[in-house]
Structure 1
């Protein structure tokens, strides 16, 4: 399930996915920055340029290069601002394509494995122009990325 909401120019994407793995296995996989490339579409040219050597910890800076659209490369720097082992972590953009990016990764044990929730609050630059391009460019791209992620995770961790 992927849902989008908007309020005062701030957009929220929320997606939930149940995986047939234990909480510790889920945490180990998702708290390792290097695994993000495994669940990002290849055409995005995603590459971590620093900060992937250690498991996530508060204050960790991770930098990336990503190509959101063909021929367009963007540097992106995030900081891991909050971590509660086996429960959640938060990354926030410090430099990159958004005016604001706050991404919560939440893990909850279930009878069948773990429920993983991604909640992203973001704001686009360029005021009304950014809001005008949101539906066709940004929302559709994020939907594509998280749909791809869902498919890959279902293949990696089959029920």
Structure 2
């Protein structure tokens, strides 16, 4: 049976809930918080409205040897200023379920990402996960953490 993996990260952001929500729910901003070597590009037409259930977003990404892959996610759940969920419909994973949670705390917003994912190809996927996929995702979220600090700054008040 294929393994479902969990990645969870939390970051404190010194901004208003509206600022944080608007930034993270705007697909065009994803490329600003993704390492350049992944060649991540949003290919959906620009959209400036509020994120909504049923919204489909398309991208290209090159996670392995610079080979571009198509990726399509659908926003499946939205609770304004609280959370939204994107799920992969086409892409490199068998399952990709990404929850974005936002909680008001002293000094700003606590953002929590919860990602459940499964790789294709059974035991080959498990080997790929242990060799490079897990590390690549950890590096991606570490890069994102630093990029968000450059955009919003660091929280100076402990929650």
Q: TM-score range by the shorter chain?
A: over 0.9
TM-score by length of 1: 0.92
Structure 1, unmatched stretches of 5+, are 1-6
1:104-145, Cα deviation, whole Å (9 max, x unpaired): 000000001000000000000000110112022110100110
**Is the alpha carbon distance of 1:102 and 1:52 closer, same or farther for their aligned partners in structure 2, counting shifts above 3 Å?**
farther
- Structure with greater contact order relative to length (CA < 8 Å, sep ≥ 6): 2
Q: Distance in 1 between matches of 2:145 and 2:138?
A: 10
Which residue of structure 2 aligns with residue 13 of structure 1?
A: 7
Which residue of structure 2 aligns with residue 47 of structure 1?
A: 41
Bigger strand fraction: 1
RMSD of aligned alpha carbons: 1.4
**Alignment equivalent of 2:110, drawn from 87, 112, 115:** 115
Which residue of structure 1 aligns with residue 51 of structure 2?
A: 56
Structure 1 residue ranges (4+ consecutive) displaced by more than 2 angstroms after TM superposition = none
Which residue of structure 1 aligns with residue 157 of structure 2?
A: none
Q: Does the 8 Å CA contact 1:82/1:90 hold for their aligned counterparts? A: yes
Structure 2, unmatched stretches of 5+, are 155-159
Number of equivalent positions:
153
Displacement of 1:25:
0.8
TM-score by length of 2: 0.92
